[in-house]
Structure 1
Amino acid sequence: MTVFRASLALVCLMSPVATAAELPAPVRAMIDAAIEKGDPETVRAVIALARQTNPGDSEEVDAILAGFEADQARLAEEKKAAKEEEIRHAGLFDNWDGKGELGGFRATGNSSNTGLTGSLALTRTGIDWRHKLRGRADYQRTNGSTTREQYLFAYEPNYNISDKLFVYGLTQYERDRIQGFSARYAVSGGIGYQFIKQADLQLSAKIGPAYRVTEFVNGESEDRIAGLLGVDFDWNITDRLKLTHDTNAVAETGGSATVIVDAGNTSINLVTGLNAKVSDKLTARFAYAIDYDSNPPAGAVQTDTLSRMTLIYDF
């Protein structure tokens, strides 16, 4: 008996230490299926469930998750590098995004009427540069006479100095015969800063000198050195509802307020808009605009308001 016990003890000492059981096959298959789909949120939820139901295999589960996260980071870097390479080799007419807008308006001030409004906005975003083109037209004829004729075209390039600091340039053309001028040109350049840059909330401001030339309907013209202030604000309230208010001399993407100040006249354009997504490509929009000129031509009032209800198509 003594010899048997000694032999048994020797066998136990020489036997390998028992290892932890492998993750059960059905659990591993469930994790593999989630990883195959590639949705990080699904994978993390399945991993959490596996860790909870198999506490003895937490190290193996954590190792699987770490490997998945590493693969996701690598794929993200590869995708980013491929996108940057595509942008660097893009042609002049590549990588433009656009929005077309069509609807009706209601105006008060120098004219009181309803009519049609339309606009087109194009944006091209590069690695350091962003280019924005804007065009808008409001037009109406009543009893053979033009009662609303307002056009705006603008081009603004931005260059990112850092993640939040940028410089901008601006050229803009306006025409509003009802307000008293047949053409108004403005050029500006300056510096801007992105105060808030989140997925659902953005706030930026810019400031710089400007030069403006105004041609009045009576044939007179004037040119002045001016200053420009701009603030852009966008808030995605929900996935389908967006509030925008931009202090921007460029255009009204959603809401905009333009302030150009010179010695003889201060122009302010305030636009607040509410966008509601109808589908991935189609958005319904209501906007309210105030145009103010401190020194309008003789016979014109200082303030115009404009309410627009439009549909926007993304392309």
Structure 2
Amino acid sequence: MISTNRLVVPALFLTALASATAQATLPDPARVMVEAALAGGDDAEIATVQKYAQKAWPENAAEIEAQVNAWRTAKTAAALAVASPETNTTDAGTTANTKTAEADEKQRAERKPVPWKGKGELGGYLAKGNSDYFGINAGVSLKHEGEIWRQTVKAQADYQENDGEATRQRFVFAYQPNLRVNDRTYVYGLTQYEHDRFLGYDSRYSLSTGIGYRSPTDKKVSLELEAGPAYRFTNFVDGGSESTPAARGSISLEWKLAPTLTFAQNAAAYLDGLNNTVNTTSALNAKLFGPLSARLSYNVQYESAPPDGKETTDTMSRVSLVYDF
């Protein structure tokens, strides 16, 4: 096939030849006027100059018209060459590559860093009279989800006093990176720190890795399961310590009961030869307005072999406000 450029070149040559012929026969004043108007490129100005030049030199009217027509023909041919797509294989390939490069550059410009998302939780109570009660619970969870990696950071603090004496003091911090295998499966790592002297341990560190599964998150009910080996190191309040391998498993369920009401159930268990731990939280979240929600939750912490004098089960009910950011 013949490209537009191959048609434009002869046209430009012929129009330039006609223009040169016309200029050769024009008087110098007429030639200067017409050339100045053509150099300006304004069609209205060119038409005006042509009109008065033909009146001033009627014997050269045909030459003036030929020069103007030659300029217009050349202008039209040049515009066609720019506007028309190339039809030969090489030019078409070059055009396609250019468009692809431009599209890639646009995507890179529009791609923005994935932000961290999170929730902040705060609740508490204060009572004075025959007995003084004070309690506060606070927590924050952060999540960053990219194309391959997902990271979560969680921190929780519970503190309670009865008549000026602490009756609950629990702190938890956890960091978990997940490596996506496919849309449903991932490999996780987990490091966790706990402090709860009323359950008998001053500090407990847990490390775990394993396989996780996520159900589709756009459904009414979503589920997440994890399982893998773990290792725990515990410092007890009485000064003793122990370290042991363990197995870890967890389940997280979220059920959208209504557009503004969600039920969540989270549970995690560590099983080892010395002490088994189960932590479970049931929560009901009601959206109030904007990013603010009310949360009612019930937590159970179970230790199969606590230190002497400690209960195996500890429970906590919370009413708190949650802010999404």
- Common fold by TM > 0.5: yes
* TM superposition score category, shorter chain reference: 0.5 to 0.7
Taking the aligned partners of 1:140 and 1:294, their CA distance within structure 2 comes to 24
> Is 2:262 aligned against 1:242?
yes
Q: Which residue of 2 aligns with 1:214?
A: 234
Secondary structure of the residue aligned to 1:237 is strand
> Is 2:243 aligned against 1:233?
no
Give the helix-richer structure, 1 or 2: 2
Residue 297 of structure 2 aligns with an amino acid whose one-letter code is A
Taking the aligned partners of 1:265 and 1:281, their CA distance within structure 2 comes to 40
> Is 2:179 aligned against 1:159?
yes
Identify if the C-alpha distance between structure 1 residues 83 and 148 changes in structure 2 by more than 3 Å, giving closer, same or farther: farther
Q: How does 1:1-315 map to 2 (within 5 A)?
A: 85-86=111-112, 90=113, 95-104=115-124, 115-245=135-265, 256-315=266-325
Deviation of the 1:82 alpha carbon: 6.4
Deviation of the 1:105 alpha carbon: 7.4
Is the CA contact (8 Å cut-off) linking 1:181 and 1:216 kept in structure 2?
yes
Deviation of the 1:195 alpha carbon: 3.6
Q: Which residue of 2 aligns with 1:61?
A: none
Percent identity over the alignment is 40
In terms of Rg, which structure is larger?
2
Residues 172-221 of structure 1: per-residue CA shift (max 9 Å, x gap): 00000111110010010000112444343211211000000111001100
Where has structure 1 moved over 4 Å in runs of 4 or more?
Answer: 81-84
Taking the aligned partners of 1:233 and 1:114, their CA distance within structure 2 comes to 32
Identify if the C-alpha distance between structure 1 residues 83 and 309 changes in structure 2 by more than 3 Å, giving closer, same or farther: farther
Q: What TM-score does the superposition give when structure 2 sets the normalisation length?
A: 0.63
Q: How many residues align?
A: 216
Residue 242 of structure 2 aligns with an amino acid whose one-letter code is E
Residues 146-166 of structure 1: per-residue CA shift (max 9 Å, x gap): 211000000001111000011
Residues 224-263 of structure 1: per-residue CA shift (max 9 Å, x gap): 0001001111111111000111xxxxxxxxxx21100001
Taking the aligned partners of 2:125 and 2:317, their CA distance within structure 1 comes to 5
Residue 185 of structure 1 aligns with an amino acid whose one-letter code is Y
Unaligned 5+ segments in structure 1 are 1-76, 107-112, 246-255
Taking the aligned partners of 2:303 and 2:125, their CA distance within structure 1 comes to 20
Q: Which residue of 1 aligns with 2:75?
A: none
Deviation of the 1:305 alpha carbon: 1.0
Taking the aligned partners of 1:277 and 1:121, their CA distance within structure 2 comes to 18
Q: What TM-score does the superposition give when structure 1 sets the normalisation length?
A: 0.65
Taking the aligned partners of 2:257 and 2:150, their CA distance within structure 1 comes to 25
After superposition, the CA RMSD in angstroms is 2.3
Taking the aligned partners of 2:121 and 2:108, their CA distance within structure 1 comes to 32
Taking the aligned partners of 1:225 and 1:298, their CA distance within structure 2 comes to 22
> Higher relative contact order at CA 8 Å, sep ≥6: structure 1 or structure 2?
1
Taking the aligned partners of 2:125 and 2:186, their CA distance within structure 1 comes to 34
Q: Which residue of 1 aligns with 2:27?
A: none
Q: Which residue of 1 aligns with 2:61?
A: none
